[in-house]
Amino acid sequence: MNDLFADRMNKVHKSFIREILKVTEEPEVISFAGGLPHPKSFPVDEIKEAVSEVLSGDCMEVLQYSTTEGYRPLREYIAQRYSKQGLKVDADEILITNGSQQGIDLTGKVFLNKNDKVLVENPTYLAAIQSFGLFEADFRSVPLLEDGVDLDILQRILKEEEIKLFYSVPNFQNPTGITYSKAKRKQLARILEDEKTVFVEDNPYGEIRFLGEDIPPVKSYLEKGVLFGSFSKIVSPGMRLGWIVAEPEVMEKIIIAKQASDLHSNYFTQRVVHQYLMDNDVDQHIEKIKKMYRDQRNLMVEMLEEYFPENVHYTRPEGGMFLWVTLPEGLSSLDLFNLAIKENVAFVPGKAFFTDGSGDNTLRLNFSNSDAEKIEEGIKRLGKAIYQLM
Amino acid sequence: MNDLFADRMNKVHKSFIREILKVTEEPEVISFAGGLPHPKSFPVDEIKEAVSEVLSGDCMEVLQYSTTEGYRPLREYIAQRYSKQGLKVDADEILITNGSQQGIDLTGKVFLNKNDKVLVENPTYLAAIQSFGLFEADFRSVPLLEDGVDLDILQRILKEEEIKLFYSVPNFQNPTGITYSKAKRKQLARILEDEKTVFVEDNPYGEIRFLGEDIPPVKSYLEKGVLFGSFSKIVSPGMRLGWIVAEPEVMEKIIIAKQASDLHSNYFTQRVVHQYLMDNDVDQHIEKIKKMYRDQRNLMVEMLEEYFPENVHYTRPEGGMFLWVTLPEGLSSLDLFNLAIKENVAFVPGKAFFTDGSGDNTLRLNFSNSDAEKIEEGIKRLGKAIYQLM
């Protein structure tokens, strides 16, 4: 039956994380494996009010089919919010997607032929590997330094190879938590300006900066490229609402791809989220999330300092939901996983985030979804497992 | 800039219907062009109650990320409903999609290599041409008779060519309104049984039969193949909720494709629709829709009998939302469109639904979205335009 499926399906397998998450769902396991926002970050009462507002009066239209691009006032809101961040975008350059994940899918559909080269950060977002992989991309990777990608290596790759897309998560990257400095964003934009490579900027965590100063997206220094955003981390991930920003020529193709994919994103919840944004101070809400995640991140770092051996290194992210751990060379995080799960604590081994097969000694820890007590106890147990491994 | 986009984008253009709909949106135009359910068919009050139920108590989970397959109780409900229709399906064989449109997209992704042959009915659903087209399908078509596809021609095609997928809408087809007879479904299943061709059965209108007896899906006579369903015509299209039924081996691949596309469908509205289905008699609600559409269809047929020339033929659908008109050979429905729009009445010229360039003298009329008054006045005007054309 192997000739039944398209060739692209041979290259992609069930997500490793997905399989791991099944193990970690047991109630006695303290899990830093997932990538979930904290449920306390959801504005439940405000959503309730927004729903009852949207469903009042002559509301039948909110249950009807709608336009492929999405609800225009919601797109206008997003455009206005960008203008505050120093990025000039018109509502026509925005299309509503099912989370920024669908941004990746539509971008692959619009740009990628089989064997086109896609450059990713090393490591990178796992579901981007899956998604571009289904368009039979040929992956190249560029290392991440503390302040973003290694520009020297990037330039060398761009010179040597014809790279179709460069996929990047400049803010609080998943999995590493690394953020591109402002200087690096400008340099990167200058390098890409003269290249045919399409810059794909994914920014699901950008609003959740709890330390340091906000930095404008790379797109604000670069005329071309596509940019993704998401309501998943600031309103609700279950509603699957995000967006793509693209120049008109590209947007025209994205509209065609979106229409063929699912006609349009859930219109009812587009209306609900828009109503929520109109009736509430979303910045105040985001401040609450930031405070919560900052406390959790700080506690996790504190615990790591106390319970991890000194030759284990980790990032100290200024936002987002993840922290990245590097074990001494030669140790395997998969072995650690097996020891840790006996202690009822879980994480994601890092190897899956690398397209070049490296990363054996790395692992990802999520801090957004765990309360203080679990962070304290979980890191204690994980430290114990690391000492066992050594 | 033409080498910027993937080759697949060259084959698909902005939907013709989409462009036409813009013309027909003027308030003075009576439009039979769209494919919208009647807004009166939306159970607004019941949806309100379902939302407030879902958002009561400890409800934060309904705003969180969820599983790729979809909310299990909703999938169980769908499985149970099929069992009443004579189809045995397990909840594990069902995945929730963004309308049945996404079923088409995921099926293309899982099965189609470039230039794989996809067989469609002639004419067929336009957005299926778009969606499979983006996977660079090579289309073949088989004529539709009054009781379903021409099985002799189907058999000849299957013998002569290696057909990867056969896409079919057996109930109240879009655009023709044609329904496969029970005998034909059984014969079709027998023919496909021994073929490698994957049968793709799209059934968005099946619940809206307002005349005659329900007929089981082809899938109930055939072990393999995929089947799509949708809540768009019975609850709300704006919520974009449908599903795929597939055997476990295929479902495994569909889950991978769905995850890479958008992680999962809107979970909040999955919960809302499930709650609605639990708390209400959906069959009673569907009866109301059927009565409404039957009256509208009957009135349209009556008007056609009165105002159209005798040598213009049309289908008399037993359900769904569309009726199909064939003008005498040599006349063009595009010319008719230009005359009709001057009379402020609109429809979709049929040519776009054919993959072989034929269908110049055909057109699609939607009866679900228009009230009696508009049907009476609109068909009168359209009849006048036809006489002008002749």
pLDDT tens, B291-304?
Answer: 999 999 999 999 99
Q: Which residues of B touch A37 (CB under 8 A)?
A: 64
Report which of B248, B257, B204 is spatially closest to residue B227, judged by C-alpha positions.
B204
Question: Does residue A130 belong to any structural domain of this protein?
Answer: yes
- C-alpha angle A235-A236-A242 in degrees, rounded to nearest 5: 85
Measured distance CA(B212)–CA(B126) in Å, rounded = 27
Looking at residue B382, its amino acid is: L
Half-sphere exposure of A285 (CA within 13 A, CB side): 19
Cis (ω within 30 of 0) for the bond into A175? yes
Query: What CATH number did the domain enclosing B32 receive?
Result: 3.90.1150.10
What is residue A294's predicted lDDT score, i.e. its pLDDT? 98
What is residue A26's predicted lDDT score, i.e. its pLDDT? 81
Q: What is the pLDDT of residues A257-300, one digit of tens each?
A: 999 999 999 999 999 999 999 999 999 999 999 999 999 999 99
Residues 6+ apart with CB under 8 A from B248: B92, B93
- Answer whether residue B205 shows pLDDT above 70: yes
Question: Which contacts (CB < 8 Å, 24+ apart) does range A129-132 have?
Answer: A129/A353, A129/A355, A130/A12, A130/A15, A130/B256, A130/B259, A130/B260, A131/A101, A131/A104, A131/A105, A131/B260, A131/B261, A132/A104, A132/A108, A132/A165, A132/A167
My answer on whether B351 and B379 are in the same domain is yes
Question: Smallest CA–CA separation between A44 and chain B, in Å?
Answer: 7
**Domain of A356?**
7-42+284-389
Residues 6+ apart with CB under 8 A from A361: A326, A327, A328, A329, A330, A331, A332, A333, A350
Measured distance CA(B156)–CA(B340) in Å, rounded = 40
Four-CA torsion A253, A255, A259, A264, nearest 10 degrees: 160
What is residue B1's predicted lDDT score, i.e. its pLDDT? 44
Q: To the nearest whole number, what is the mean pLDDT of chain A?
A: 94
Residues 6+ apart with CB under 8 A from A39: B60, B61, B63, B64
Question: Smallest CA–CA separation between A390 and chain B, in Å?
Answer: 36
My answer on whether A244 and A257 are in the same domain is yes
Measured distance CA(A121)–CA(B196) in Å, rounded = 41
Confidence label for B17 from pLDDT (cuts 50, 70 and 90): low
Question: Does residue A55 belong to any structural domain of this protein?
Answer: no
Question: Smallest CA–CA separation between A375 and chain B, in Å?
Answer: 21
- What is the DSSP-derived secondary structure letter of residue A265? S
Measured distance CA(A156)–CA(A164) in Å, rounded = 15
Q: From the centroid of its chain, how far is CA B383? A: 27
Does residue A72 or residue B27 have the better pLDDT?
A72
Q: What is the pLDDT of residues B302-325, one digit of tens each?
A: 999 999 999 999 999 999 999 999
| DSSP string of A376-389, one letter each residue | HHHHHHHHHHHHHH
What is residue B15's predicted lDDT score, i.e. its pLDDT? 64
pLDDT (mean) for B328-335: 95
Which residue is associated with the tokens 């691949």? B253
My answer on whether A271 and A288 are in the same domain is no
What is residue B16's predicted lDDT score, i.e. its pLDDT? 67
Cβ–Cβ under 8 Å, residues B16 and B352: yes
Question: Does residue B96 belong to any structural domain of this protein?
Answer: yes
Question: Which contacts (CB < 8 Å, 24+ apart) does range B21-29 have?
Answer: B23/B341, B23/B346, B24/B341, B24/B346, B26/B344, B28/B344, B29/B341, B29/B344, B29/B345, B29/B346
Is any Cβ of chain B less than 8 angstroms from the Cβ of A260? yes
β partners of residue A365: A323
Query: What CATH number did the domain enclosing B227 receive?
Result: 3.40.640.10
My answer on whether A158 and A35 are in the same domain is no
Question: Does residue B235 belong to any structural domain of this protein?
Answer: yes
My answer on whether B376 and B360 are in the same domain is yes
Token representation of residue B366: 């939607």
Domain boundary among A225, A256, A279: A279
My answer on whether A17 and A76 are in the same domain is no
Q: To the nearest whole number, what is the mean pLDDT of chain B?
A: 94
The A residues from 64 to 103 touching B (CB cutoff 8 Å) are 64-66, 68, 97-99, 101-102
Cis (ω within 30 of 0) for the bond into A123? yes
Is any Cβ of chain B less than 8 angstroms from the Cβ of A39? yes
In tens digits, chain A (390 residues) has pLDDT values of: 458 899 999 877 666 666 676 777 788 999 999 899 999 999 999 999 999 999 997 788 999 999 999 999 999 999 999 998 889 999 999 999 999 999 999 999 999 999 999 999 999 999 999 999 999 999 999 999 999 999 999 999 999 999 999 999 999 999 999 999 999 999 999 999 999 999 999 999 999 999 999 999 999 999 899 999 999 999 999 999 999 999 999 999 999 999 999 999 999 999 999 999 999 999 999 999 999 999 999 999 999 999 999 999 999 999 999 999 999 999 999 999 999 999 999 999 999 999 999 999 999 999 999 999 999 999 999 999 999 999
Domain boundary among B279, B311, B326: B279
Token representation of residue A151: 């520009």
Measured distance CA(B140)–CA(B250) in Å, rounded = 24
Q: Do B133 and A47 touch (CB under 8 A)?
A: no
**pLDDT above 70: percentage of residues in chain B:** 97
What ranges in chain A are assigned the alpha helix state H? 16-24, 44-54, 72-84, 99-111, 126-133, 151-160, 182-193, 248-262, 267-279, 282-307, 333-342, 372-389
My answer on whether B249 and B128 are in the same domain is yes
What is residue A1's predicted lDDT score, i.e. its pLDDT? 44
Half-sphere exposure of A58 (CA within 13 A, CB side): 0
Which residue is associated with the tokens 């429905």? B333
What SS3 class is residue B250? Answer: helix
Break chain B down into helix, strand, coil percent, rounded to 5: 45, 15, 40
My answer on whether A226 and A347 are in the same domain is no
Pairing, β B242-245 against β B226-230: antiparallel
Domain boundary among A279, A310, A333: A279
Looking at residue B277, its amino acid is: L
My answer on whether A104 and A222 are in the same domain is yes
pLDDT (mean) for B184-193: 97
Number of structural domains in chain B = 2
Measured distance CA(A340)–CA(A79) in Å, rounded = 45
Question: Does residue A208 belong to any structural domain of this protein?
Answer: yes
Of B40, B55, B105, the CB nearest to A262: B105
Which residue is associated with the tokens 């609900």? A272
Looking at residue A52, its amino acid is: S
Cα–Cα distances in Å, from B131 out to B152, B246, B311, B378?
27, 19, 35, 32
Cα–Cα distances in Å, from A300 out to A39, A339, A346, A368, B348?
19, 20, 14, 10, 61
Of B15, B55, B68, the CB nearest to A44: B55
My answer on whether B267 and B137 are in the same domain is yes
My answer on whether B239 and B125 are in the same domain is yes
What is residue B232's predicted lDDT score, i.e. its pLDDT? 94
Question: Does residue A368 belong to any structural domain of this protein?
Answer: yes
Question: Does residue A326 belong to any structural domain of this protein?
Answer: yes
What is residue A2's predicted lDDT score, i.e. its pLDDT? 57
Of A44, A99, A264, the CB nearest to B263: A99
What is residue B18's predicted lDDT score, i.e. its pLDDT? 67
Question: Does residue B336 belong to any structural domain of this protein?
Answer: yes
**pLDDT above 90: percentage of residues in chain B:** 91
Is any Cβ of chain B less than 8 angstroms from the Cβ of A263? yes
Of B14, B47, B134, the CB nearest to A63: B47
- What is the DSSP-derived secondary structure letter of residue A207? T
My answer on whether A107 and A236 are in the same domain is yes
